[in-house]
Structure 1
């Protein structure tokens, strides 16, 4: 594999693991029960580029490329890959791999998958970025793929790590022919809802779907024909438990074996009951986004009162919002120290980050002066939208932000709701100011920049999650140039420039990086992942 096919997250220092004694767990247990902090929005691997979806996807639908706990690229369904030249990549597939229905996995399934991705309807956050730019695909034999791109795509292996591979035969696409502007003989691509049925959720992964009852459970059964190492657990039952109290109660009562994101305030109680807690830094930034749409002179930003203008179009107002926030106080008081204040969209030393990009210094007096200079000496009112069950202490963080903004004259009310409702409303443009999070699947800066700050453009795949509609042509140009630069050093320098410019422009306002905890009963072991995924195949009996 060429140097451009690897991320650098293996450099990241581990955060200490808290290991504690607990109740016995028989090594021969066949079922693992997991309490989910946030439920996937679909079993469809291509519907929603969202952490819970991507985590479940890896159990059923594997990618050509996978990632380890530090987001370093490792072989998946592709045994190897290499860049032949700046616009040509060769991938060699693993022999002997079959789908869960017994059909063999071949290059045709990869072609079918890449053709299906753009057909997904109503995707809240699309995967089209992963297939864009591929001009032609050659399959000289069933286990070889040659991708030719219109321009250099140095992150093609990273992109492929995000895509679960579907069976072409399962959906009548055996004769598909790839086309950059539309595939031929694709058949009728599956609708997202079809993947809720076990008979249609056909993948190559270590598990297969046994049942899915939205809001209640996702049950996976071990794929006995899996090509790789067999997972320890025959059955894995995932139970959505958005509320922290019931999640912890279920763990303590023995109803589940492991829970995601136990609340920091309950750590002592969990430890006192004899359970194990592990935690590690994540790639997830919690940030504020502001409506910066300039495309329609008649657009009136929602949720702002006390002014006829959109105040967030003024750089001074955006800077005032950032400097009004005491990030360290949020880390210490709301997050219990289990977080890291953020100055950009990824933590150092992940690829494209800059050590000098420190969090803005808290300065309430300076923030008030900035507001006055922007023409808001008496401030204004705004509603802050936030999920209340998606990120660690998300509603509490939003309430703290609202109080801090109120002290500089921005009277802020919080509108909190479940994640599913929040994302629907956010995507419709209901909020002038909202709190959300982003985890970079690729473990490098272009993922965050493309998704969150690039000017939204469905034709190029830029800005799919830039719901504040920030736009800066200079930032866009740097991102585009970086995405076409194969040389690692030059690409990283471009990403650093783009990140610095976007952060100094307050494209979005980073608050902190989550440190992710897991709690589980004695006799189990789990290594924290920087991508925050809970992977059942990596939960093992303790040694």
Structure 2
């Protein structure tokens, strides 16, 4: 596929920068799938498009809110938030940024065609937008929404000049890839690489890099080899088995941070005809075993999470029993990771009517999460001890997520953190009963639905008092975990490696971008 070169003016700027201009070369392990900032709520996509597109609200390395395109925000009533926008901000083509761009962005988000993970989880709570003046906008909601600023950190803002029907292809070919961000796009090859140049008119702090080369090297060994050879200066998703060796290299430095992301398995709760499930000898089953909570519990407690953390993750993870890790708002200290118990798992299968186990397809990406392919292989081996034969399919993440969005797998590996610093986004996206019009369950691959959970979540989303909201989150979490809505595995640790002359500010949201890197002092 040929790279798309953008406007001649962009290339002219690059030429003026001169051959001596400093270029930062970044290689990432997670495959980004589009330059369309509203196509898929996928961390590699978000990290790439943040170079080009700004949000109303930003976040720092600890996921604390910071001003973005909005300088300030205020709750002017229980159901109205007002955002004061920066003045003097321009799009990469020189046109001014105004509140009308936000209106156009919100109108476009629900209409993105073939989106595997919609950004409506961030927009649906807004009932009406009110443009007060070119640099003031009010967001009206049907009920109190205490997390509106947090939600606004998740929505990239695009220019109104492209309208609401602009297609994903127009971002990928560069025509619509015009943002207000710190870098301007020069070229983009889907699934391969992007080249960007510094935007001298950016409203934020001056960036040290004249150009940024951002490319995918999915293979761990190849990514490390490129770093050691100096072909790239920064890599992410460092394999845990390589950390000690890299630490002993005088030319390399390591940066790490505990992640918000929870690695988990989703299971099809609803369908008896779910593909990839059969009896122990491949025979058709009248009822899917995954619909029985005893079976789901058996699958959970037959996974030795401590072994995965120590042997597969090299200690760079912590066992998980819920959405978010200890210390994050909404974490329930009463919920511990499931205790590894093979005899009980076998008894649960017998009680459920599957004394000889069954066969099931276990799918996952092989280039998205740290050691993802090894994780599903380890899970499959553990399930074999209780008579569950897992047929493992590991595939490139762009293929996996597209197929997962079509509900092609009975069980799949995935990961989710938080878009707000609270458990609302995994609850709304992963667990809530699917309702596209309300932005609920947009990534609910398990097809899980529990009215009691939904009711608690809705109460939490409109509760202003932080302590009361947290208790509602915890109650909802206990319901979902008792149902095994998902099977949490572990919270991973994010690891970067760089050449000695580059300093990386490690982030707990896992995102890799040039704005978190600078020349070492």
TM-score, length-scaled by structure 2: 0.93
Find the partner of 1:212 among 173, 188, 193. Answer: 188
Q: Does 1:324 align with 2:302?
A: yes
Q: Deviations over 1:308-355 (max 9, x none)?
A: 320011111111111101000000000000111101011122111112
Which position in structure 2 is the counterpart of 1:260? 236
* CA distance in structure 2 between the aligned counterparts of 1:247 and 1:368, rounded to whole angstroms: 41
Deviation at 1:302, TM superposition (A): 1.2
Q: Does 1:228 align with 2:204?
A: yes
Q: Deviations over 1:287-319 (max 9, x none)?
A: 01111015xxxx412111114320011111111
Which position in structure 2 is the counterpart of 1:9? none
* CA distance in structure 2 between the aligned counterparts of 1:280 and 1:367, rounded to whole angstroms: 34
Q: Does 1:410 align with 2:383?
A: no
Please give the secondary structure, in 1, of the residue aligned with 2:258: strand
Please give the secondary structure, in 1, of the residue aligned with 2:38: coil
* CA distance in structure 2 between the aligned counterparts of 1:412 and 1:200, rounded to whole angstroms: 44
Find the partner of 1:107 among 99, 106, 119. Answer: 99
Find the partner of 2:261 among 280, 284, 303. Answer: 284
Find the partner of 1:471 among 449, 474, 480. Answer: 449
Which position in structure 2 is the counterpart of 1:300? 273
Which position in structure 1 is the counterpart of 2:16? none
* CA distance in structure 1 between the aligned counterparts of 2:43 and 2:493, rounded to whole angstroms: 15
Find the partner of 2:328 among 350, 355, 363. Answer: 350
The answer to whether the 8 Å contact 2:28/2:235 transfers is: yes
Deviation at 1:199, TM superposition (A): 4.1
Q: Does 1:58 align with 2:50?
A: yes
* CA distance in structure 1 between the aligned counterparts of 2:369 and 2:125, rounded to whole angstroms: 33
Q: Deviations over 1:465-503 (max 9, x none)?
A: 111101111001111111122222221111111011101
Deviation at 1:518, TM superposition (A): 0.2
Deviation at 1:439, TM superposition (A): 2.2
* CA distance in structure 2 between the aligned counterparts of 1:153 and 1:225, rounded to whole angstroms: 34
* CA distance in structure 2 between the aligned counterparts of 1:416 and 1:197, rounded to whole angstroms: 29
Deviation at 1:273, TM superposition (A): 2.8
* CA distance in structure 1 between the aligned counterparts of 2:174 and 2:355, rounded to whole angstroms: 59
Q: Does 1:125 align with 2:101?
A: no
Find the partner of 2:213 among 222, 237, 243. Answer: 237
Deviation at 1:29, TM superposition (A): 6.4
* CA distance in structure 2 between the aligned counterparts of 1:250 and 1:244, rounded to whole angstroms: 10
Q: Does 1:518 align with 2:491?
A: no
Find the partner of 1:460 among 438, 444, 454. Answer: 438
* CA distance in structure 1 between the aligned counterparts of 2:356 and 2:173, rounded to whole angstroms: 56
The answer to whether the 8 Å contact 2:121/2:428 transfers is: no
The answer to whether the 8 Å contact 2:196/2:211 transfers is: yes
* CA distance in structure 2 between the aligned counterparts of 1:359 and 1:29, rounded to whole angstroms: 50
Q: Deviations over 1:413-453 (max 9, x none)?
A: 21111111111211122111111111222221011111111
* CA distance in structure 1 between the aligned counterparts of 2:77 and 2:242, rounded to whole angstroms: 53
Q: 1:426 to 1:216 in 2, by over 3 A?
A: closer
TM-score, length-scaled by structure 1: 0.89
- RMSD of aligned Cα (Å): 1.3
Q: 1:96 to 1:473 in 2, by over 3 A?
A: same
Please give the secondary structure, in 2, of the residue aligned with 1:89: strand
Which position in structure 2 is the counterpart of 1:150? 142
Q: Does 1:502 align with 2:480?
A: yes
Q: Does 1:272 align with 2:248?
A: yes
Structure 1 residues without counterparts, runs of 5 or longer: 1-27, 174-185
Please give the secondary structure, in 2, of the residue aligned with 1:372: helix
* CA distance in structure 1 between the aligned counterparts of 2:501 and 2:347, rounded to whole angstroms: 57
* CA distance in structure 1 between the aligned counterparts of 2:84 and 2:287, rounded to whole angstroms: 56
